[in-house]
Amino acid sequence: MSFSTFTDADFEAIHQQYAALKEAAEKRCAGQEELAVVQRAFDFANEAHKNVRRRSGEPYILHPIAVAKIVVSDIGLGYKSISAALLHDVVEDTNYTVEDIRNLFGDKIAALVEGLTKIKIVLDNEDRSKRLNEYTESIQAENFKRILLTLNDDVRVVLIKLADRLHNCQTIEYMPEYKRDKILSETMFIFIPLAHRLGLYGVKSEMENIWLRYKEPEAYADISLKIEENLAGKKERIDKFVEPIKRSLERSGFHFEIRGRVKTPYSVWYKMQSKNVPFEQVYDLYALRIVFTPDSSSGESEREQCYRIFSIITGIYRYKPDRVRDWVKHPKSNGYEALHCTLMSDTGVWVEVQIRSKRMDDIAEKGIAAHWTYKREGYLSENGSEMDKWLEKVKEILVSPDVNALELLDIIHNDLISSDIMVFTPKGDQKTMKKGATALDFAYVIHTEIGNRAIAAKVNMKLVPLSHVLKTGDQVEIITAENEHPKKEWLQFLHTRHARNVVIDFFKGRRKEVTESGKQLLFSQLESQGYRTNDASLAILTDHFQIPGRNVDELYFRAGLGLLNLSDLSTVLSGHEGKNHLWPFPWFKKSREKEAPKKAVLGEYVLASCCNPIPGDPVIGIKSPDGVTTVHKKTCPVGESIASKYGDWVVVPDWEDSVSEKSGFTVRLSIRGIDRVGLLNEISRYITLIMGVNIRKINLTTEGGIFEGYLDLSVQEKSILEKMIRKISTINGIQSVIRTDV
């Protein structure tokens, strides 16, 4: 922030932006009294931030105005939240206190502002230095814990914080690159999954696109251009496809609108990465949404009217049965409801169609805020219980004394990004579980004692072990025995936190026995790998395994339960001898030791083995206390996770100067096509003779005339790789050539 007297142009910009906010607020506020509170909040914040500027040079007050606009327009919150958004930086950045806010605006708005203020950790230099030397702690993890703790008070605080983060992303171009990387990593690891879980698809999508635009600018520009070119000239064909649907629904008496939805650059990029397919094989670029207003006089429920629309449109066009997604009968855990199907147009193109009621559409666009609005109006549906269950689960994790901030960050992140499956009891009762859950997880969902006494299960009438992984639609019956009890081995395949905690709690009653066995196991592993068991090695291991308070007994206990991977202790401990400090981050030492090729170490830089960056890739640096920087690709999930927790160690690496011209970097090209005689020879000839690139490994298989596999190459830089991909793609028979992780 900086200070300078506002100009007439500044005052005009403030006036215009507030006028747009006021117009949006008028549609959401119940009357003039609520609007008057918003006006007072703006006047107060405007005066408090007078002559203060953001890094971009614009008046600071434009930021809270923008956050308030997101709060009302994208999230759909009311006047108290709009006012809190306008005031959210006043307490932190000025001399006003929460008590001042309370006296002027009342308890609720003051509580929202206080919740937002508490989220931000403010440390003086001495305290900050002390905290940064405690390597096992993470300021960002503590910050995230504070964000989630506000769920116990008022979820609107989290929603306003999401709006604040979205606007910070929208204006991120004014940040230095290292700070951009830190903010975007936090955003991808924490805020995007949180927006998804709370049903805020608009907020989530915009954050994802901004992330891609700065993390992979070339990919973002290329995909955006291809989407534009792909859709150019298709309006006439789309109108022709829609016309018979429109006529039939009108004849049936429906009140509706049909909208188009274009897949975002990020969602296209993500599908290309996760499915290893080129842009040309992403088929659902465009989708149609039928949003209808239910007819209460028809005698049909909202759900039944959805199915009737489905029946009408599939009577016009042929549909793909395996592409039907019924989230009307079984809503997603974040409240999303819709009926999806894919229709074949008269021109031979598959088109996705989404059927939603007005209520479903509101919840799909505004998430939890819309869900609460309908709940207050007396409309209860299946999605409500799922949303409430998730919030209760988060609160349960937050109050657990056994979870430190870093563990919490990983637990919640994994929960946020997990998808759900629907399974059924023998009586047909539906249960929602995390994808990957086992039959034993299901047993603990039914009842703790059923889980504790389980010996086997029947899935779809077939006998299976307790470790059997469930899938959507399974009907599960648990077989129990009266004298059974939990086994330590169960922790190796239990997937849900609740079930794991029940089993761990059972063995806490036998803590002395488990701790002793874990101690003997750990000592044996250390000795077999050539290390002494002393205070230094145990301190390193408690740091590595993130044991709260570096409690050695807890280390033994977890080892005894089989919760720790003791197979790579030499990797964890090597390099510590003779040093006066501990490695702050176990992932750093681990990544260095796993870098087998010596050329991966470039002066003070180490190339991360998880993503294998090459010159020309957008990269992020993580600097350790000994001055060595690990270089990751900006889109590397491991690098993202580290930067989201330890943002103070993020740097902009100037590593390419350390690369000699003769250095080679291993990359993998996944390749697929139609097999023919001489094809492999043609590919290898181009790579080795024309491009002068060394092939380090070939793994190709052929079946039914189709070949697929990969080539590991040693290249000098990204431009050479891209030229090679373009050329190989033009060889007769090649369908796709994509760079993938080694």
Active-site amino acid positions: 92-93
3-state SS, 358-413, equals HHHHHHHHHCHHHHHHHHHCCCCCHHHHHHHHHHHHHHHHHCCCCCCHHHHHHHHH
CA-CA-CA-CA torsion sign (371, 373, 379, 385): positive
| Whether the Cβ atoms of residue 70 and residue 167 lie closer than 8 Å to each other | yes
Name the 3-class secondary structure at 184: helix
**Total number of residues shown for the chain:** 742
The vertex-183 CA angle with 88 and 155, nearest 5°, equals: 40
Name the 3-class secondary structure at 57: coil
DSSP helix, strand, coil percent of the chain (3-state; round to 5)? 55, 15, 30
b/e code 159-195 from CB counts within 10 Å (16+ = b)? bbbbbbbbbbbebbeebeebebbbbbbbbbbbbbbbb
Burial (Cβ within 10 Å: 0-12, 13-18, ≥19) of residue 538: middle
Whole-angstrom Cα distance, residue 362 to residue 357?
A: 9
Whole-angstrom Cα distance, residue 605 to residue 179?
A: 20
- 574: closest CA among 586, 563, 565? 586
Q: Residue 318 is which amino acid?
A: R
Strand ranges, E, within 551-693: 601-602, 605-607, 619-623, 629-633, 650-651, 665-674
Question: What are the strands of the beta sheet with 454-459, ordered from one edge?
Answer: 462-464, 454-459, 476-480
Instruction: Say how many C-beta atoms besides its own lie within 10 A of residue 118's C-beta.
Output: 16
Whole-angstrom Cα distance, residue 601 to residue 512?
A: 45
Read off the tokens for 417.
């990004």
Q: At what angle do helices 32-48 and 98-105 cross, to 10 degrees?
A: 150
The vertex-713 CA angle with 710 and 716, nearest 5°, equals: 145
- 691: closest CA among 666, 663, 715, 718? 715
**Residue found by looking up tokens 């570096």 in the block:** 550
Q: At what angle do helices 382-398 and 405-417 cross, to 10 degrees?
A: 160
Q: Residue 606 is which amino acid?
A: V
Name the 3-class secondary structure at 621: strand
Farthest CA pair distance, the chain: 83
Whole-angstrom Cα distance, residue 279 to residue 74?
A: 30
**Residue found by looking up tokens 């496809």 in the block:** 241
- Helix then strand count (H, E) for the chain reads 32, 21
